[in-house]
Homo-oligomer: A and B are copies of this chain.
Amino acid sequence: MGKAAITRKTILNKAFDLIYQKGYQATSVDNILDQTHVTKGAFYYHFENKEDMGVRMVEEVIYPKLYDALIMPLEDSEDPINDIFKVIMNFFKLADYQTIMYGCPTSNMIQEMAPLSDRFHEALKNITDTWQGTIEAALKRGQENGTVNRTVDTESVAQFIVVSYEGLRSLGKVYQSKLYYKNYLKQLRAYLATLQ
């Protein structure tokens, strides 16, 4: 990676840290620059404006995190009912305080920016479409190999799983207890079991 590419990455990574904790609008460009050794000239050389930087941050920082943790592990799943549960449970097992305190980065950005900016809206819709689509595809493979009941509506089930997960991460901000996550996993498992 060249020097310029490093500068760009530095901006995006620090922007993620701050935006994840405070929100996009509450994080100023100066705020990001203060916490890096990057100057304003460099910032506006690499990005058109603040919105452009934010959208790239979603695409290049937030999306890969979600992909690695929750999407990729399901891409080849032949036993979705068990794998979906395992993937989510495993994510919470590895989660630190920040992860629980500040919610899901994707969901945070949707809440704040989807209604305000078309560019954000599109980037965020791509992420959720990909995730939901991956779950749906896994459920369909499960239907073919017999691990998932053929009568289930894979689209609405995939949606329900994503929706419940994002709701959990959102309300997790207010409850911040292990029990809250445990309770969720209990009900998620029960719900998934009904799909067999």
Q: Which residues of A contact B (CB under 8 A)?
A: 21-23, 25-26, 101-103, 107-108, 110-112, 114-116, 121, 124-125, 128, 153, 155-157, 159-160, 162-168, 170-171, 173-175, 180, 183-184, 186-188, 190-191, 194
Contacts and interface: CB of A to CB of B under 8 A. Distances in A.
Contact of A183 (B103, B155, B174): B155
A167 B188 CA distance: 14
A71 to B, nearest CB: 16
B171 A164 contact: no
A181 to B, nearest CB: 10
A25 to B, nearest CB: 5
Contact of A153 (B101, B107, B186): B186
A159 B183 contact: yes
Contacts of A26: 25, 116
When all copies of this chain in the complex are counted, the total is: 2
Contacts of A156: 183-184, 186-187
Nearest to A152: B190
A86 to B, nearest CB: 19
Given A164-B160, A186-B156, A110 B170 contact: yes
A81 to B, nearest CB: 15
A101 B115 contact: yes
Contact of A160 (B121, B128, B183): B183
A155 B180 CA distance: 10
A32 B92 CA distance: 40
A166 B112 CA distance: 15
